[in-house]
Amino acid sequence: MIRRALALGLALLLAACAGAGPSKHEATASGSGSSARQILLTVRQPDSLALGLTGPPNQRYAQRRYGPAPSVERILTQLAREHRLERVDGWPIASLSVYCEVFAVTDDRSLDTVIAELKADNRVELVQRMNTFETQATGYDDQYAELQTSSVQMDIEDAHRLATGRGVSIAIIDSAIDASHPDLHGRIRVERNFVDAGPAPRGGEVHGTAIAGIIASAANNRVGIVGVAPDVTIASLRACWAVTRDSVAAQCSSFSLARALEVAMDLKPNVVNLSLAGPDDPLLGRLLDEMIARGIIVVAAQPEHGQNGHEFPASHPRVLAAHSATDVLASASPYVIGAPATDVLTTTPGAQYAFLSGNSLAAANTSGVVALLMERDPHLDVARIAEVLTDTTTHADGNASINACRALERLTDTTFCAREAKLVRF
């Protein structure tokens, strides 16, 4: 009771702090300025057009100097002049053979009018609004490291007898991760920043650090907590930025997420975690199609209640959509997965820990369990993973949660889990 009372007070305090930050329309393609009057456009740029560009091929997407081919540059300049637009930023997307450019509409024309004009221009391959995405977590600080109820709920300790995520890699596309945190030290193999407002904050940001802690916190190091898959390796791809300093809430844009997804494909992780939600996005949808076609498992957070119209990327076909275990799941889709999302203890910047809540955490728990399954069978596809997770989900009192131990039992055709369900009631 005392902990829940403290939780409520601190949650209200954090909500008030988050409310003092910029509105959802004040974030940009790259993390500064205003995106409310921005559009995103792609022009065809086959690999053959990019041969003359400079920069190491394995790092070209991490370098801001890697721009459009000369012929594409001319087209972008012409489009800006003819359609009265201001160029803001750009990025090559090799997996789709396009160059992506952000334009600002600086006069009072409606965005729908401008987009309609550009769709009629045969030089333009795709054009859309710049969308804003928001992470799906709320939280409060507390210091009870022994209260990892989500791990008990998913039967993680027994699951670790069969798998710990060794040999599996997860790309976390989120805000910055504190790679120096004692529970995450040595777990981050790649760090990239796609937010151009400035370098990633030293010491990371709350949301990204929390997601990484749920998935990959070290086991048996006499510090803090245990991750769902403590032996995975993490690629930290910062495409989101904290709404305010030390805020749990973070925001991302179509442009920053597109850049991160493109680099993630080059890194070839087993799993990509997207603990965020926003409106349907054509460009990101195409990138997810390509990623899924390459056999990468994508896990996303279902939107919180009251976010109708902001179900993407969880709504995308063959994406595992993680939902709070404390809600009854009415969806008939095999890709909607229930996982712990309430009072989840995890890492925060500065060697700290916090209890957080939200479907962002359900996605992280799901990604961790997927990593355990993929250690045992690296060739699993998303359909088989969804089948195993849903068939072994435990149900009680309106809760529906994946169970890592039972999922591993099903996959390996063994029997070693405790027979009593370990659902924790909050």
Q: Please report, for the chain, the start and end positions of each structural domain, with discontinuous segments joined by +.
A: 38-129, 133-412
Q: Where residue 51 falls among pLDDT bands split at 50, 70, 90?
A: very low
Residue 166: predicted pLDDT: 97
Q: Which CATH class is domain 133-412?
A: alpha beta
Residue 301: predicted pLDDT: 96
How many H-runs (helices) and E-runs (strands) does the chain carry?
11, 20
DSSP 302: P
More confident residue, 7 or 382: 382
Q: Rounded distance, CA 27 to CA 18, Å?
A: 14
More confident residue, 403 or 48: 403
* Segment among 9-13, 175-179, 245-249, 339-343 with least mean pLDDT: 9-13
424 pLDDT more than 50: no
More confident residue, 61 or 397: 397
48 pLDDT more than 70: no
> What is the mean pLDDT of the segment spanning 170-190?
95
The residue to which tokens 């890194």 are assigned? 267
89 contacts 102 by C-beta, under 8 angstroms: yes
Q: Rounded distance, CA 88 to CA 38, Å?
A: 9
Q: Where residue 31 falls among pLDDT bands split at 50, 70, 90?
A: low
CA-to-CA dists, residue 263 to 39, 40, 92, 259, angstroms:
22, 18, 11, 6
More confident residue, 399 or 402: 402
Topology adopted by domain 38-129: Alpha-Beta Plaits (3.30.70)
| Closest alpha carbon to 298 in 144, 171, 139 | 171
> What is the mean pLDDT of the segment spanning 155-173?
94
SS (H, E, C) 349-417: CCCEEEEEECHHHHHHHHHHHHHHHHHHCCCCCHHHHHHHHHHCCEEECCEEECCHHHHHHHHHCCCCC
Q: Where residue 131 falls among pLDDT bands split at 50, 70, 90?
A: very high
State the chain's mean pLDDT as an integer. Answer: 83
Q: Where residue 423 falls among pLDDT bands split at 50, 70, 90?
A: very low
Highest mean pLDDT among 269-278, 307-316, 406-415: 269-278
